[in-house]
Structure 1
Amino acid sequence: MAAKRSAASAIVSRVFAATVQGMPAFFVGTLLILLLGVNLGIFPVGGYGSNFGEHLYSLVLPGLAVALTTCPVLIRSLTAALNDSMSAEYTNFALSKGLSRKRTVIDYAFRNAGITGVSILGIQVGHLVGGALVVENVFAIPGVGSLLMEAVLARDYDVVQALTVIFGVLVVLVYLLTDVVYSIVDPRVRLGA
């Protein structure tokens, strides 16, 4: 989208991202159930299956629902960062040296914009976890979301507190991993400094 700003695919992507970003995960999940599960019969509308293949197959729609509501933020921020990188002096310098536009975008612009993408992806982990918990209940998947909902309804405070701590630790670990990925994406960032 950043490389071809006026292409029809970029415009459609922007409109789609802006539309889906305003929808909650449970609503997108319900739409996917109606469209791909009930009307087309491609995916199961609930449950978890009985073997590994069925488990993966039944997770397609919930994963799609969570991804569709989380990805627009990442797409929009990464596109904005790529637009900034494409108009930066180092990108123009690389083009003037004779590098192809594709090589310049991959080696210079995308690498510098990748830091923004990693930051936004790390921040979105909390949203992903929350969305996954809600979507589990929409698709009737017996998982941690169902356990948390049952514990809240039964007023089992020990289970609620334990799951809250586990999710908190998970988010902190992902933030730590985000800092490690910074040093991989941009060698100027040092972990020890």
Structure 2
Amino acid sequence: MILGEYSTPEAIASMHHTLGLDLPIGDQYLRFVRNLVTHGDTGASIISGTSARELIADRAPVTLLLIVMASFLAILLSLLLAMLAATNKDKLLDHLIRIFPTITLGMPVFWVGLLLILLFGVRLRWFPVGGVGEGWTGMLHSLILPAITVAFTQIPTLVRSLRAQMLEVLESDFLVTLKAAGIPSRVILLRHVLRNSALPTLMLLGVNISYLIGGTLVVEQVFGIKGIGSLLFSSISKRDFPVIQGIALYCAIAVVIISLLVEMASWWLDPRTKGKQ
């Protein structure tokens, strides 16, 4: 692949030696692990010859910003919808919000992205249909539609989980004491009901954000964003294995970090775990 279709056996043998492919498989693996630990790299790109770490680092800021924006929108909208549904139990608004997850769970993320492009990009021309703008303002503006698309896939399960937990807490006995003490309903809802309901949903959010990373890679292709997703798909089509390995590795590390942050947040939210740890 590196030397081309008409390369000579001598050139192939020389390239095997350069890449270390003539070594025993155990030695090759040890070289790979050593390079990974010391340099955080999975090797040079077969196509460009550039370090996989440098290629990923060049595309990572856009992807990370998209994940942060999508997570923020998913959390904000899920909190709003769940609180509205729980405080209006069995009313029209509650039924409408409960129907929303049922419908949206079956929508593929790329299809949602195309609909948003047609409506807000082509029809209304509020947002660009693809690419990333220049500067922070242009970048944020161009990533709004992709962030909404990614968040759209996470909201249904979060709303359903948080609503169920809030309804359970709203029926607890301690709320009667808080209301009798004259504490405003808004304070009870935000400081007591929401905090006691958030822990199971927070654990679900940690799992969903891990899936969100994979969904972001697909959305980048739909919107033509030059992030890690487009790099991954181009590397797959060109069979650029070191880059594919690097992307898989860094995504796995991101999932581990997110899981750790979720554990720390759950420890902060649930005082019962503080004494044990």
Output the TM-score relative to the length of structure 1: 0.92
Residue number in structure 2 paired with 1:181: 265
Identity of aligned residues (%): 35
Residue number in structure 2 paired with 1:13: 97
Q: Separation in 2 of the partners of 1:57 and 1:96?
A: 47
Residue number in structure 2 paired with 1:45: 129
2:233 to 133, 136, 149: 149
Shift of 1:10: 2.6
Shift of 1:133: 0.4
Shift of 1:38: 0.9
Report Cα offsets for 1:82-116 as digits up to 9, x if no partner.
01111123223433444443333223221110112
- Aligned residues of 1:47 and 1:142 also touching (Cα < 8 A): yes
Aligned residues: 193
Q: What code does the residue aligned with 2:213 have? A: V
Residue number in structure 2 paired with 1:23: 107
Q: Unaligned regions of 5+ residues in structure 2, if any? A: 1-84
- Bigger radius of gyration, 1 or 2? 2
Residue number in structure 2 paired with 1:85: 169
Q: Separation in 1 of the partners of 2:270 and 2:121?
A: 43
- Aligned residues of 2:128 and 2:142 also touching (Cα < 8 A): yes
- Aligned residues of 1:81 and 1:113 also touching (Cα < 8 A): yes
Residue number in structure 2 paired with 1:119: 203
- Aligned residues of 1:183 and 1:191 also touching (Cα < 8 A): no
Q: What code does the residue aligned with 2:129 have? A: V
Q: Secondary structure at the match of 2:90?
A: coil
Instruction: Please report the RMSD computed on the Cα atoms of aligned residues, expressed in angstroms.
Output: 1.7
Pairs within 5 Å for 1:34-113: 34-113=118-197
Shift of 1:131: 1.0
Q: Separation in 1 of the partners of 2:191 and 2:137?
A: 38
2:223 to 110, 133, 139: 139
Report Cα offsets for 1:112-166 as digits up to 9, x if no partner.
1011221111110122101100000000000000000011111111111111110
